[in-house]
A = this chain, B = another copy of it.
Amino acid sequence: MAAATNSTRQNIRQTAERLFRDRGYAATGMRELAKEVGIEAPSIYNHYKSKDDLLREICIDIAGQFFKAFEAIDKNEKSPTKKLRSAIKGHIAVIGNNLEASSVFFHEWMFLEEPHLTKFKKMRFEYEQNFRDIIDKGIKKGELRNINTKLVTFTIFSALNATYDLYLYKSKEKISKDEIADGMADLLLKGLKN
């Protein structure tokens, strides 16, 4: 029995996010997914066209959230440094609010079928370009020291995109969402500043 508040579709979606994250997309079977939802495998196809369709919905949804968060930040005119800090924190917040889905987004996008795969790559490049632009402007204005923009953008995203993993620590010293966002933004910006 599913909880009354959750529709079967939502249930499938959430379970898929969890299984795709824990076992990987390719290693997760439709029967396994169905079993965890509490239905039979073919019933999934009443809600989703295919396995790929599920993955697509998860990935596209997260991509949309990243764009939306950035746009909200980009509108407020600020210095590149402040803008970058906000963008970093916004990015981490999206991950923090979608722990399972964002992990799937980062690790399983490669299994998207065309044409979605190409579209996905394009969207990601565009998004990262936004960060690159801010950094370039920061260097031009002298707020940031002059280092390889590509390497820096890469380093930033590598650190940010792994934060979902930080929440999995079950040890006593648990780090809060704000600690993660602030601490990481501080560390990276201090490394960048002139």
Contacts and interface: CB of A to CB of B under 8 A. Distances in A.
Given A147-B186, A155-B184, A187-B191, 8 more contacts: A24-B110, A26-B26, A151-B180, A151-B187, A158-B161, A159-B159, A189-B191, A191-B191
Given A24-B24, A187-B192, A191-B188, A155 B150 contact: no
Interface of A: 23-24, 26-27, 107, 110-111, 147-148, 150-152, 154-155, 158-159, 161-163, 165-166, 169, 173, 175, 179-180, 183-184, 186-192
B152 A162 contact: no
B187 A155 contact: yes
Contacts of A186: 147, 191
Task: Give the dominant DSSP class at A's interface.
Answer: helix
Contact of A158 (B24, B151, B158, B169): B158
Contacts of A159: 155, 158-159
Q: How many copies does the complex hold?
A: 2
24 contacts: A23-B110, A24-B24, A24-B26, A24-B110, A147-B186, A147-B187, A150-B169, A150-B173, A151-B179, A151-B184, A151-B187, A152-B187, A154-B162, A155-B187, A158-B161, A158-B163, A158-B165, A187-B191, A187-B192, A189-B191, A190-B190, A190-B191, A191-B191, A191-B192
A147 B188 CA distance: 13
A187 B144 CA distance: 12
Contacts of A175: 148, 150-151
A166 B154 contact: yes
A183 B192 CA distance: 11
A191 B184 CA distance: 10
A151 to B, nearest CB: 5
- The 8 A-B residue pairs with the shortest CB-CB distance, nearest first, are A191-B191, A158-B162, A26-B27, A26-B26, A187-B191, A190-B191, A158-B159, A151-B183
